[in-house]
């Protein structure tokens, strides 16, 4: 851990390279407004045509300078390897650059973003850690290159006109991956997690310094070693993120990931005689959903019985208005939000944590791609692609015995990689599945086609092997803007050990059959946490349903939803992008029809539409970048 337990809102930076040739003049340095964290203050650097203003750790030496926002987990090991005793972690980056050149980010481990300047070439380097803890944006207009840790800072400092990026909007609505670095604003781009930008000679060059897809596959003799290895690497990731100088906290649901993070954290802290706050959100109303468990309270309570140093805090859903949370989060993130019903309880958990002195709270949000990867979806197709037919037959038999797949499903998974798309579409229709984006999106077909979105394409992930599918999902997933938004809104940092790069790399090294050993989904983490999790949690096959009683809370905001729908009709881009007629019809659906469609899918489809429509409407009327609304006040007004 660094000297600071968490990364505060003030740790941000802005920079620009003005038009004209860069020079290698000596750096002019001035510091003012000193902060209350060692080595962190507001700085203004001028390097010829480069200007950087930052409130973060910094270091300057020999015509080179660096700003580091965040923390390095391997600072001590890095210092030994570099044979240096730096005054702060930013200075380590100077030494690392001199040792390894522009490859130095691959030797860093932590939650960080950085800006690095070398006057000799001259060149500018920007980078984000593989977990994507904080975002980093850039734009190049005319002869000027600018960057900042917040889009709103770019907008204000550069006086930018914010035009919506229609291609990005179409991809977002369709949940389709994009290989570029586009944001929701034309001409503004964002670095992806694990990516570095090199700006030299007026050109931008992007490169991923972290590529988990290149991790070699492990070949261990004893299958138990795979689960032991997962537990060890996950425990190390938890230890690195536990605060030393403030109260620790964790989001505790009934799922495998957050429960595993909680168990490992509690076990580590118990050795030091320390306690940890565990926060659980539960429904206010009793609800059920086919194949899901809706009340995570009993599962979380079983954890408190096993770990006596857990101080359990329970909050109920519905504490805040969903529309106020959409406004707050979309303004803080500068983008529409997915899973809007979850934002209210996450916000309330973080506020409760703040009141108890918690500055950093651990989560397990990314575990579905790593520690608790299901395995069953891509295992058979992966074996088929690799020609491992004996393994495929054994795993298929086990999945059938466990009730995971019927024989028809087994055949489809085995042959889908080789199946023509036309045949796949026919099978989808035969099964009564529309097989189209309309299952989960309200995007208007004309808008989708105009931006290259195929409305009838099957889920592209089904045609990929296990590793390729997870890599694609990782590249699509960026938790940085959401974590930064909650940090801005609540003052509490969130850190996820399940997306730690060492955890990700380890999980990518495990053969896929050990994620579904014996035909049991997510078997790797179940085996790894045997004796560490209550069996109620460890053996539960169903997935938890968060914000399960959202329909009850939505009723208090139904009039606001209808009013918003009316306002959305006045925005030209919203009319072109969203199928507003379909949204109006969805608002009239009966509970029976919603249940037939699938309630979780219904709310996801509807609230993503409202999130985007409200985002574009507020962008047009100028309120998106205004001061964020009072969450509590809006909730009271809606009632």
DSSP 8-state secondary structure symbol assigned to residue 166:
H
The pLDDT-based confidence of 401 (bands split at 50, 70, 90) is very high
Is 287 in contact with 261 (CB distance < 8 Å)?
no
Q: Pick the more confident residue, 231 or 471.
A: 231
Is 173 in contact with 443 (CB distance < 8 Å)?
yes
The pLDDT-based confidence of 433 (bands split at 50, 70, 90) is low
Structure tokens at 601: 């899918």
The pLDDT-based confidence of 436 (bands split at 50, 70, 90) is low
What DSSP assignment string belongs to 401-445? HTTS--HHHHHHHHHGGGS-HHHHHHHHHHTT---SGGGT--B-H
Peptide bond just before 418 cis, omega within 30 deg: no
**Distance from C-alpha of 72 to C-alpha of 432, rounded to nearest angstrom:** 51
> What pLDDT score was predicted for residue 16?
78
> What pLDDT score was predicted for residue 464?
82
> What pLDDT score was predicted for residue 32?
27
Q: How many CB atoms lie within 10 A of CB 197?
A: 21
- In this structure, which long-range contacts are made by residues 339-343, counting pairs with CB atoms below 8 Å and at least 24 apart in sequence? 339/604, 339/607, 340/607, 340/608, 340/610, 340/611, 341/546, 341/547, 341/550, 341/603, 341/607, 342/546, 342/547
Average pLDDT over residues 538-566: 94
Q: Pick the more confident residue, 151 or 58.
A: 151
pLDDT above 90 coverage of the chain, percent = 65
The pLDDT-based confidence of 12 (bands split at 50, 70, 90) is low
Average pLDDT over residues 26-47: 36
The pLDDT-based confidence of 460 (bands split at 50, 70, 90) is low
Between 80-94, 404-418, 555-569, 577-591, the lowest mean confidence (pLDDT) is in: 404-418
The pLDDT-based confidence of 151 (bands split at 50, 70, 90) is very high
pLDDT digits (tens, 9 = 90+) for 505-531: 999 999 999 999 999 999 999 999 999
Q: Pick the more confident residue, 391 or 48.
A: 391
Q: Is the pLDDT of residue 40 over 80?
A: no
pLDDT digits (tens, 9 = 90+) for 355-397: 999 999 999 999 999 999 998 888 999 999 999 999 999 999 9
Structure tokens at 416: 């889908």
Q: How many CB atoms lie within 10 A of CB 470?
A: 23
pLDDT above 70 coverage of the chain, percent = 87
How far is it between the farthest Cα atoms of the chain? Answer: 71
CA distances from residue 357 to 270, 352, 478, 588 in whole angstroms, order as listed: 19, 9, 27, 45
Is 608 in contact with 338 (CB distance < 8 Å)?
yes
**Mean pLDDT score of the chain, rounded to an integer?**
86
Strands (E), 149-287: 189-190, 195-200, 203-208, 247-251, 276-282
The per-type count for the chain, helices as H runs and strands as E runs, is 26, 19
Is 305 in contact with 297 (CB distance < 8 Å)?
no
Instruction: Please give the angle made by the CA atoms of 136, 139 and 141, to the nearest 5 degrees.
Output: 165
Average pLDDT over residues 11-40: 42
> What pLDDT score was predicted for residue 22?
37
Q: Is the pLDDT of residue 494 over 80?
A: yes
Q: Is the pLDDT of residue 117 over 60?
A: yes
Structure tokens at 267: 């076990």
Between 11-15, 253-257, 447-451, the lowest mean confidence (pLDDT) is in: 11-15
Q: Is the pLDDT of residue 121 over 80?
A: yes
Average pLDDT over residues 86-93: 89
In what helix (H) or strand (E) does residue 595 lie, and over which residues does it extend? Answer: helix 591-597
Q: List the one residue out of 328, 327, 186 whose CA is nearest residue 617.
A: 327
pTM of the shown model? 0.90
Half-sphere exposure (CA, 13 Å, Cβ side) for 156?
Answer: 9
Helices 480-490 and 340-355: angle between axes, nearest 10 degrees: 50
DSSP 8-state secondary structure symbol assigned to residue 164:
B
Q: Is the pLDDT of residue 30 over 50?
A: no
Is 485 in contact with 329 (CB distance < 8 Å)?
yes
SS3 627: coil
Q: Pick the more confident residue, 314 or 377.
A: 314
Q: List the one residue out of 297, 303, 299, 302 whose CA is nearest residue 264.
A: 303
- Which structural domains are found in the chain, ordered by start? 12-210 (3.60.20.10), 224-372+478-509+524-544 (3.40.50.620), 550-638 (no CATH)
Supply φ then ψ for residue 156, to 5 degrees. Answer: -70, -50
Between 163-177, 229-243, 435-449, 587-601, the lowest mean confidence (pLDDT) is in: 435-449
> What pLDDT score was predicted for residue 356?
96
> What pLDDT score was predicted for residue 141?
83
What DSSP assignment string belongs to 337-395? -SSHHHHHHHHHHHHHHHHTTEEEEE--TTGGGTTT---HHHHHHHHHHHT-HHHHHHH
> What pLDDT score was predicted for residue 24?
34
pLDDT digits (tens, 9 = 90+) for 191-219: 999 999 999 888 999 999 999 999 999 99
The pLDDT-based confidence of 28 (bands split at 50, 70, 90) is very low
276-282: strand order across its sheet: 310-316, 276-282, 247-251, 358-362, 493-495
Q: Is the pLDDT of residue 290 over 60?
A: yes
Average pLDDT over residues 341-350: 95
DSSP 8-state secondary structure symbol assigned to residue 629:
P
């Amino acid at each position: 851990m660094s000297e600071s337990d968490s990364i505060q809102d003030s740790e941000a930076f802005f920079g620009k390279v003005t038009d004209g040739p860069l020079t290698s003049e000596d750096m002019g340095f001035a510091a003012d407004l000193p902060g209350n964290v060692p080595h962190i203050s507001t700085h203004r650097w001028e390097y010829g045509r480069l200007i950087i203003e930052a409130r973060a750790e910094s270091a300057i030496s020999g015509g080179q300078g660096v700003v580091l926002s965040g923390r390095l987990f391997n600072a001590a090991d890095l210092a030994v390897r570099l044979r240096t005793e730096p005054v702060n972690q930013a200075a380590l980056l100077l030494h690392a650059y001199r040792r390894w050149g522009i490859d130095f980010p691959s030797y860093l481990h932590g939650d960080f973003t950085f800006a690095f300047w070398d006057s000799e070439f001259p060149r500018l380097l920007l980078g984000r850690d593989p977990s994507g803890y904080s975002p980093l944006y850039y734009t190049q207009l005319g002869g000027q290159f600018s960057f900042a840790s917040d889009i709103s800072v770019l907008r204000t400092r550069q006086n930018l006109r914010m035009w919506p990026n229609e291609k990005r909007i179409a991809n977002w609505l369709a949940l389709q991956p994009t290989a570029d670095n586009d944001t929701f604003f034309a001409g503004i781009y964002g670095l992806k997690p694990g990516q570095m930008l090199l700006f030299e000679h007026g050109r931008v060059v992007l490169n991923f310094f972290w590529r988990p897809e290149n991790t070699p596959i492990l070949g261990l003799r004893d299958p138990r070693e795979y689960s032991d290895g997962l537990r060890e690497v996950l425990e190390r990731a938890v230890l690195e993120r536990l605060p030393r100088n403030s109260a620790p906290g964790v989001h505790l649901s009934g799922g495998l990931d957050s429960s595993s993070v909680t168990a490992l954290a509690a076990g580590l802290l118990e050795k030091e005689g320390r306690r940890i706050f565990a926060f659980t959100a539960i429904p206010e109303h009793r609800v059920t959903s086919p194949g899901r468990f809706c009340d995570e309270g009993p599962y979380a309570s079983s954890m408190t019985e096993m770990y006596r140093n857990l101080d359990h805090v329970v909050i109920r859903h519905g504490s805040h208005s969903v529309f106020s949370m959409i406004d707050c989060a979309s303004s803080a993130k500068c983008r529409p939000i997915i899973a809007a019903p979850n934002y209210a309880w996450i916000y309330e958990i973080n506020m409760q944590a703040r009141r108890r002195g918690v500055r950093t709270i651990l989560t397990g949000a990314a575990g579905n791609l790593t520690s608790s990867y299901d395995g069953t979806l891509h295992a058979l197709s992966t074996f088929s692609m690799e020609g491992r037919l004996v393994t495929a037959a054994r795993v298929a038999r086990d999945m059938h015995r466990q009730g995971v797949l019927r024989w028809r499903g087994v055949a489809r998974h085995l042959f889908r990689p080789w199946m023509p798309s036309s045949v796949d579409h026919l099978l989808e229709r035969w099964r009564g599945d529309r097989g189209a984006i309309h299952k989960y999106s309200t995007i208007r077909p004309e808008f989708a086609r105009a931006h290259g979105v195929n409305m009838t394409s099957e889920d592209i992930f089904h045609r990929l092997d296990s590793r390729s599918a997870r890599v694609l999902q990782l590249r699509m997933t960026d938790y940085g803007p959401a974590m930064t938004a909650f940090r801005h809104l609540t003052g509490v940092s969130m850190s996820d050990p399940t997306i730690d790069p060492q955890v990700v790399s380890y999980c990518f090294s495990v053969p896929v059959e050990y994620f579904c050993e014996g035909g049991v989904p997510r078997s790797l983490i179940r085996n790894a946490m045997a004796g560490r999790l209550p069996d109620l949690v460890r053996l539960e096959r169903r997935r938890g349903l968060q914000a399960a009683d959202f329909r009850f809370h939505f009723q208090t905001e139904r009039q606001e939803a209808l009013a918003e729908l009316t306002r959305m009709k006045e925005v030209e881009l919203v009319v072109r992008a969203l199928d507003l007629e379909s949204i109006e019809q969805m608002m009239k659906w009966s509970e029976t029809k919603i249940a037939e469609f699938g309630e979780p899918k219904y709310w996801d489809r509807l609230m993503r539409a409202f999130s985007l429509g409200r985002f574009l409407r507020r962008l047009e009327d100028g309120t998106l970048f205004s001061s964020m609304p009072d969450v509590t006040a809006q909730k009271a007004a809606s009632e």
